[in-house]
Chains A and B, each alone.
Chain A
Amino acid sequence: MKKTYTIVAAVVILVILAISVYFYSNAPKPSPKVVQTLVLGTTLDVTPNLDPGQNYLTGVLNLNNVVFDPLYEVPPNIYPNAYLAPRLAAGDPTVSADGLHWTIPLRQGVKFQDGTPCNATTVKYSFDRLSNLKSYSAWLLESVASVDVVDTYTVRMNLKFPNAALKGALTMPVAGPVSPSAVQRMGLDAFGKTPVGTGPFKYVEWVPGDHVTLAPYTGYWNQSRVPKVNLVYKIFADSATMKLAIQKGEIDSAWDNIRYSDYPSLLSDPNIKHVVVTEGYYELLTLNMGIPNSPLRDLRVRQAIAYSIDQNEISQKVFQGIYSPANDTLFVSGQYPKPSWLQYKPTNVAKAKQLLTDAGYPNGIDITIWFTGVIAGSPDVEALIQEQLGRAGIRAKLQSQDTGTFYARFRGGQFESAVGQMSADYLDADSTASFIAASTGSYSKRVRLNDTMLDSLVRQGVATTDPAQRAKIYGDIQDRLAALCVYVPIVNILDLWFYRTNVSGVQSYYFQYSPWWTLDKSPTT
């Protein structure tokens, strides 16, 4: 009897396997497709919708950068000399003498993916819609009072105050025109699932939590940018699975959020290549100036911490040298670089101890550093920082918290010290300065930074269009931030974009400006 059971079990298993393999390998293959499908793996989920006016998540920004056309763009492969170039705009804006009126010429002959012509009226509609939706994305246009249609292919943006950073803001995919007829026809919810723009790709399907499919828009106005492949944005729950999937050839590319500890095995894989992507952010340790009775209120204590942190050691031990030590206090990726932080280098434990003694803490201090798991390198970075601070007599207690609570408390300025990340939203120095230096900035509130000099400099920077003057102002901001020592920059975050050797056309790019229209894939693996 037992022999019968064994035979039956073995036969059942073999039959299932045989059916799977037979059907998969021997069934008539579908006729060759006109274009290849390239699968781009990521751990960046897209939720709750794909509407550029409502979603500001990194994954959606990148998708929308190829489905929508912002007026301006940051061309690929130009870092560290990134600049702004016209995309849907036909040229640079003409700015009035008082800086309050921006006249922008638009490209002619552009049509949305549903055939609707794109012109000044649709651009105005899209900007008005973005403002009216009142989502997080709307802040991009907070300096804009109204938009006028000058003629069929010219719009004028009337500003509430001069804003030299507006051109940079207009590179954001959230500012890409949407098809008014599609919005009206589909309604807000349906439009959010497959929105319609003028970009080189169009949305085909979104299966929440699993994948987004894009197809080339053959009617794209710039024929040289019509994509050669269908694109599947495949969402993984875990970086480890995504790494194995690209090694196995199940996906063609691991585009984002590969864990840094997985880099070595991918870098040594002969079937996989990579490019470096500038993510536009850096990791930092915040030192809150405003917690009552905290020793961090004393500048000398903050400086002692700055002298204790060894960025090189963190870069080498935690990030295997891939992430470089950060020397700028205002990360602007090629715009107005000024390594103000070098004044705290090299690491000087003796000086740190002396500063603590001068501040009245000869026996060291106790501080609490908060962190959350989503920060790159966590918790290794925090553990190493704890060790480094300990060398100078600074006893750091590490406290982890879940992401939601962490950000809620962080934003409320409740942490004495925390490890966080600071990113630029778009290519303009003001994108970070207004967050990190102005007292109204959400990041400044996290360290209770309220400095009149910085406020004044930030206002000047955004109101000045002259590049030389702006370089001076943003240099001064960086010097001031380093002098106040409320942020200790740790490492510049880079991302490696991995792809299999049969994928071509991969270009490095600047954070959310992914140029996926250049991708191609040879049929053989």
Chain B
Amino acid sequence: MRSAVETTSPRFGEAGHWGKEVRSDVHVAFEARDSGGVEISLESRVSPYYGSAILEQTREVLGELGVKHARVAIHDEGALPFVIAARIEAAAGRAGVALGKTSLPKHVPLPAPSPKDRLRRSRLYLPGSEPKYYINASLHAPDAIILDLEDSVHRGEKDAARILVRNTLRAVDFGSCERMVRINQLPLGLEDLAEVVGQSPDLILIPKTEEPEQVREVDRMIGEIKARHGVVRPIWIMPIIESALGIENAFAVATASENVAALTIGLEDYTADLGVVKTAEGRESQYARARLVNAARAAGVQAIDSVFTDVADMDGLSRWGEASRAAGFEGMGCIHPGQIRVVHEAFQPTADEIARAREVVAAFEEAQSKGLAVVSLGSKMIDPPVVQRALKLVERAKAMGVIS
């Protein structure tokens, strides 16, 4: 039972951002009350066009949250409806009301489920507290977008970001991009899962993975939530290895669940763990990256590289990407849309490689049609692994749009 002081003092919560520099976000100040109904004030840079729509939406959201008495002050900077809903819900939650209740925005159709070994050359990081980046992210055509709840979100903003990311997965059309979410380290990450898994993300990244048990725990949790929400499409897992111990356990991590689709590496934390300086050439992480590629391939999953942090250095990015592909990685992270094209070019097979692979594939098809078990090209016999590799390369090149 609450004390008298608690019930009469205002219960206050706020969420979101406003100000001259802010775009596409909204700030909601929520004061829970015990009587007097709902009182809403609105200031918005788009009020001539959407003022009444925002007020109407606010009343709807409050209704769904079961809020009957409150004062809500809204400063809107052109936020889209899914952001407005998320901010109101977060502010109410922080005021200590409507806990356990949600207000979900309209659903856009889900993209086709993601194949386990789909093309993952690039994943564009979108901070979980910056809604302005979401709506146009797919225009830059990365293979994946990644809604980040971990490092790009301030510790005090995790609850609000979680709600925003949940709404984003539901309401934003990311086109043909794979929709990834990076959760927080466990156990905080489990709370993230509870919020987002119901909205069918295609893949979950687990940061600071060191032990297979961490993967199994996440996998179990995803399975439970999927069952509860009736989600049947796959949700893949990409553990991020970011420590010396993680590298030692890479194979065990990669094989911890059949839902692991790829392994990736976080070089900032890894080099910190080693106590070495991270350089642009990356010699200090050569062993770890080679070990990770080997573990991933041994487990039959993709190896995906870290990010390149200097967004102005496109030549450096290009060199990094080419070296990365040569080392066996199939993609890397992007922290700016401008990096995507360079990364795609770096991870694209060369014209020579494609021509050679097509010759092999043609020879293989000819052998098939003649019912021959042995594939030969000119005077040389082609081993089955070479054929397999050529088939995969041609298929990938098609997916990349390099050949038709």
A and B: real partners? Answer: no
Residues of A within 8 A of B (CB): none
